[in-house]
A = this chain, B = another copy of it.
Amino acid sequence: MTQVLLGTKNPGKIAEALDILSGLPGIRWRTHPDCPFADVEETGSTFLENALLKATAIGRETGLPVLSEDAGLEVPALGGEPGVRSARYSGEPVDVPRNNALLLERLSGADDRQARFVAVAALWLPDGQAFVCSGVLHGRIAESPRGCGGFGYDPLFVPAGAAKTLAEMTLAEKNAISHRRRAIGRMRAILADLLASGELSGG
């Protein structure tokens, strides 16, 4: 069994990733806090840079292949904000209800409520190889929060073609369409290829 570490401490992200990655034979997924690692400062200016920063730092610390991810919300009417600052949009410490309230305030009266969730997954291997996959979910920002599933901006995000917010969906419903599903689902094909070539276990 090859071990791969999920490079996140966010229980919501861990649950979603394990659901998306289930059934990939030959990999034993390791997670925080059973397999501990230091926090990594997200100093990048893009989701891609931050996902790679985390996978590389945690991989070098633990010696394991690491799958990390960075994600956020982009609102064209706000010039792409909150973007890489999604988690800390309303300042430190991270406060999700305050972030959601700020987003609604900035969009009050706006005609254009289009938005997209972006996820970037990065895989780092101990031999130095790296892989990056992106995923996007298009939608719009609701007038008020609805639902208590998911996390982050999910209560405000209505996917294109849907009536419910992401937070009103089950984990399975969200994972069928989410940006994270697309990014990590694409990485799944790469993981399967690396398993077959023996590269995931350092072969």
Number of interface residues of A (CB under 8 A): 21
What B residues does A190 contact at CB under 8 A? 133, 186, 189
Say whether A199 contacts B136, CB under 8 Å. yes
Give the copy number. 2
- Interface: A48 (CB within 8 A): yes
Interface stretch of the complex, out of A2-10, A107-115, A123-131: A123-131
Residue in contact with A48 in the complex, picked from B130, B133, B135, B189, CB distance below 8 Å: B130
* Bound CA span A135–B125, Å: 11
* Bound CA span A136–B186, Å: 20
Question: Smallest CB–CB gap between A127 and chain B, Å?
Answer: 7
CB-nearest residue of chain B to A125: B134
- Interface: A193 (CB within 8 A): yes
* Bound CA span A128–B121, Å: 15
What B residues does A75 contact at CB under 8 A? none
* Bound CA span A190–B52, Å: 18
Of the A-B pairs whose beta carbons lie under 8 Å apart in the complex, a sample of 24, sorted by A's number, is A48-B52, A48-B130, A118-B128, A118-B129, A120-B130, A129-B134, A129-B135, A129-B136, A130-B132, A130-B134, A131-B132, A131-B133, A131-B134, A131-B186, A132-B132, A133-B190, A136-B199, A182-B197, A186-B189, A186-B190, A186-B193, A189-B189, A189-B190, A189-B193
Known A48-B130, A133-B190; further 15 A-B contacts with Cβ < 8 A: A118-B128, A120-B130, A127-B136, A129-B134, A129-B135, A129-B136, A130-B134, A131-B132, A131-B134, A132-B132, A186-B190, A186-B193, A189-B189, A189-B190, A189-B193
